[in-house]
Amino acid sequence: MGHKVYVTQHRYIIESLDYFFSMQIFVLLHQEMEELQRRLKDLQDEGHNHEENILSPRKKNDLLRERTLLKKRYPQLQIPDHIAEFPMSRIAKATNNLYSQNLIGEGGYGPVYKGRLGGVTVAIKLLRPHGKLHGRQGFPEFQQEVVVLSRIEHPHIVKLIGVCQQSCALVYEHLPNGTLMDGLSKGLPWKDRIRILAEQRSALAHLHSSRPQAIIHADLKLTNILLDAGNTSRLGDFGTARVVQMKPLEDTICRRTNPMGTMGYMDPVFFTTGELTAESDVYAFGVVILQVLTGLLDLNIAEQAQEAIRMDAVHSLLDASAGSWPGVQAERLLRLALRCCHMERKRRPTITSDTDWRPLDILRTMATGSKSWRWSQGS
């Protein structure tokens, strides 16, 4: 047994070192490419006009067609003015050449580093150096996140500060307390948990009620909810988000696309039909609520909650590390979460309906001691 553990640890260290050195080479190559591209552009500019003037009309058409094809294959995003653009050299300097001690996270997109740009502490998410970048397979995800986050402003949605198009890097505000999953593992108090759930309902309501284009997040989960120094939450990771054009006098939000997301959080109806709707986010939010209430991460958490209700034992399912829950109201919220996870989409609560979300609002009021609270206030 000890030998197996040693081998596993040894393999993990080797893989980590290999990844680290790959990232270092990645940075150096980008720096050299920037310098070569700059020199090449200077040379091209000198002879560009002369060369085109002596080309035949046919050659000019061939050249124009080639440039068009290159632009389609490697498209350049139109970055809004309020989003900064950084060269790879600035990204490398900000992270001390991707120093391993600055690595603060790792996801499907790639590693996340802590850094400083313009005197501000930021989080920098980089596309993996192997595979995706060379085939530009990760570009659609990068593009989607930029397009969506550059048009959203909400206190509980992560703020995109800048991008580096050369490496498909994304620069965000730095949120030092990690993810909601980290918070649960540290015994986050129930009052903070309820507040965070209310904040995230506010964020989803903002996305779903946006007009004329509504937004479906499509990958809501504990690790995509980030916490600042005061444990105020931000919804992040919009790489799989989808923008849906809303027609006048139409409230239905639906888009057909390939099933995506994270197993356990993914709407079963979306998985089987490919129809992504606002109710898909509601399903995932229901799973998040159950996890926040219970501290459990099991894929069959809904079944466990249903069994606890049937046995009149909800109190035993609530996460004791969060403190003393208001039992009656916590059970009502748990029942609401199960409605979110209903197989029939029409039976799920609407994220913007105050009536549907009264159990959460009551708990939020109890947690803050305030006399009234509404999600529309964005607090």
- Taking Cα atoms as reference points, which of 167, 21, 18 lies closest to residue 89? 167
Q: Is the pLDDT confidence value at 34 over 70?
A: no
d(CA 263, CA 279) in angstroms, rounded, equals 16
In the numeric block, the tokens 């499907």 are attached to: 108
All CATH 3.30.200.20 domain ranges of the chain, comma separated, are: 1-30+66-174
3-class DSSP state of 201: helix
Q: What is the pLDDT of residue 302?
A: 96
Instruction: Give residue-wise pLDDT tens across range 111-162.
Output: 899 999 989 999 999 887 554 444 444 778 888 899 899 989 999 999 999 9
Q: What is the pTM of this model?
A: 0.77
Instruction: Give residue-wise pLDDT tens across range 316-328.
Output: 999 999 999 999 9
Specify the DSSP element, H or E, that contains 338: helix 327-340
- Out of 7-16, 190-199, 206-215, which region has the weakest mean confidence (pLDDT)? 7-16
Q: Residue 219 catalytic? A: yes
Strands 160-164 and 84-85 turn out to be parallel
All CATH 1.10.510.10 domain ranges of the chain, comma separated, are: 180-377
Burial class (CB in 10 A: 0-12, 13-18, 19+), 221: buried
pLDDT, average across residues 281-294? 98
d(CA 140, CA 231) in angstroms, rounded, equals 31
Q: Is the pLDDT confidence value at 106 over 50?
A: yes
Q: Which residue in 192, 219, 267, 361 is the catalytic one? A: 219
Contacts 24+ apart (CB under 8 A), 246-249: 246/211, 246/212, 246/213, 246/214
Q: Is the pLDDT confidence value at 31 over 60?
A: no
Q: Is the pLDDT confidence value at 265 over 80?
A: yes
Instruction: Give residue-wise pLDDT tens across range 60-71.
Output: 565 555 445 434
Q: What is the pLDDT of residue 246?
A: 67
Question: Which residues does 184 contact at the CB level (< 8 Å), separation at least 6?
Answer: 193, 222, 291, 292, 295, 319
d(CA 185, CA 104) in angstroms, rounded, equals 17
Retrieve residue 47's tokens: 């002879």
Helix/strand/coil percentages in the chain, nearest 5: 50, 15, 35
Instruction: Give residue-wise pLDDT tens across range 171-190.
Output: 999 999 999 999 999 999 99
In the numeric block, the tokens 């139409």 are attached to: 250
Asked whether 284 and 221 are in contact (CB, 8 A), the reply is yes
Domain at 180-377, CATH from 1.10.510.10, 3.40.50.150, 1.10.10.10, 3.30.1490.190: 1.10.510.10
Instruction: Give residue-wise pLDDT tens across range 347-374.
Output: 999 999 999 999 999 999 999 885 544 4
Determine the topology of domain 1-30+66-174 in CATH.
Phosphorylase Kinase; domain 1 (3.30.200)
Q: What is the pLDDT of residue 332?
A: 98
Q: What is the pLDDT of residue 355?
A: 96
Reported as a pLDDT band with limits 50, 70 and 90, residue 239 is confident
- Taking Cα atoms as reference points, which of 302, 300, 286 lies closest to residue 360? 286
Q: What is the pLDDT of residue 142?
A: 87
